[in-house]
Amino acid sequence: MKIWLLTHSEELKKASGTGTIVKKVLGEQCEVIVWQRKAPHASILNLSPADTILVYQHSNDCPTVTTETLHTINNAIILDGTWQQAQKMYNRSPYLSQFAHYEVTHLKSAYKKRRNQIENGLCTAEMVIHLLNKTDNPVSSTLLHEFHVFNQ
């Protein structure tokens, strides 16, 4: 599964962002795209809704995917930013609603560098670790280790 980090520009300025760890560990398995409201990136627009998920809270008008079907997914888009930034990115990017949504619930974040602003909200690295674990990707243990070192 390729990870697409659709990143808010302010996130790139913060030392506490975990997207950089994800990119460092995953290398070519991860693409960082800076979100632009008026100019959606062609790479995201060209992804097939048939094998791409958006990791974001469920919306009533969007299809969803279950954990059991993650093995059939080739691409995962993650909105990389604060929860307020992610909501803004989602609301201002109607093209994202074409992708099935995947939401992780019932997990508690261990992230210490920022206050998680929603209950059970995971940071970007934790979300990627979850996806890698669910798809039996062996690099999940490396990313988990790097996250723990960063999070100390």
Task: For 95-119, write each residue's pLDDT tens digit.
Answer: 999 999 998 877 888 887 766 566 6
With both helix axes pointing from N to C terminus, report the angle between 140-151 and 124-134 in degrees, rounded to the nearest 10: 160
CA atoms of 138 and 117, how far apart (whole Å) = 30
pTM, full prediction: 0.92
CA atoms of 4 and 43, how far apart (whole Å) = 9
**Residue 65: which pLDDT band, with cuts at 50, 70 and 90?**
confident
**Single-letter code of the amino acid located at 100:** A
3-state secondary structure of 102: strand
3-state secondary structure of 101: strand
Domains of the chain by residue range:
2-151
